[in-house]
Amino acid sequence: MPVGGFAIGFLTNWLAINLIFSPLRPRRILFWKVQGLFLRRQEEISEVWARLVAAELITVEKVADAMINGGHGDRTRAIIQKHLRPLLDNSVVMKLTAQVTVGMTGYTELKKAMNQKAVLATRDVFGDPSFNRERAPVVASVLAGQMKALQPAEFQDILRPAFREEELQLMVVGGLFGALAGAVQFFSLTSLPF
């Protein structure tokens, strides 16, 4: 009985785990439409997953920090500076006033300082917790839209790895509970007088 209980518990958990992810596409079996539980709820799961990821993992602050200070942050800073340069150079009055006041070299240094201040200002804006809370729904909306647009196999490939590592353990635990139930049955049938 314990061996049979282990097999039944193991197989029951294997079946339950597989029903979460398969079949990929809806199939008709007699009067029922069957599809993996996560895949059937793709819209809802996409919304919840996107909100969680946008609030905790891919915040506006983290993305901006990676863009400005990450591996290619110099390119991002150069783009910011490239867009600021015309603002400074196209204002004839400001340009002439600055050149007359601090000289040509001073004007160049002033532009560099303003560019650095602009980059620092972006850090302040993106680091603001209330700004991040306000923008999180926008990030979540984009992520949810992308998740909802995935094909069932692609959607499964995003979620399944989180379960795959623990699947065998879950099946063994089910088997152990089945074996325990089988052992209790065996001892109750052989030890207890009827």
155 or 121, greater pLDDT: 155
* Residue 112 near residue 41 (C-beta atoms within 8 A): no
70: phi then psi, degrees, rounded to nearest 5: -75, -165
Query: Count of CB atoms within 10 A of residue 27's CB?
Result: 11
63 or 103, greater pLDDT: 63
Average pLDDT in the 156-164 region?
Answer: 81
Mean pLDDT (the chain) is: 83
Average pLDDT in the 110-130 region?
Answer: 79
**Alpha-carbon distance 129 to 120, whole Å?**
16
Provide the pLDDT for residue 46.
Answer: 92
Domain boundaries defined on the chain: 2-191
Tell me the pLDDT tens digit for each residue of 71-93.
888 888 888 878 777 776 777 66
29 pLDDT higher than 80: yes
Give per-residue burial for 67-90: e unless 16+ CB within 10 Å, then b.
bbeeeeeeebbeebbeebeeeeee
Provide the pLDDT for residue 148.
Answer: 93
Q: Which residue type does 81 have? A: Q
Provide the pLDDT for residue 117.
Answer: 79
Most confident stretch, 60-64, 98-102, 137-141, 165-169: 137-141
140: which 2 tokens?
A: 């979540």
Question: In the chain, where does DSSP find H-type helix?
Answer: 2-21, 37-40, 42-56, 60-69, 73-90, 92-127, 129-149, 152-191
- Calculate the alpha carbon distances from 132 to 44, 48, 80, 156 in Å: 23, 18, 21, 29
Most confident stretch, 110-114, 141-145, 158-162, 165-169: 141-145
45: three-class secondary structure by DSSP: helix
Instruction: Scan for tokens 């509970």, then name that residue.
Output: 177
Provide the pLDDT for residue 44.
Answer: 93
187 pLDDT higher than 90: no
84 or 147, greater pLDDT: 147
- CA 137, 139, 141, 143 torsion: positive or negative? negative
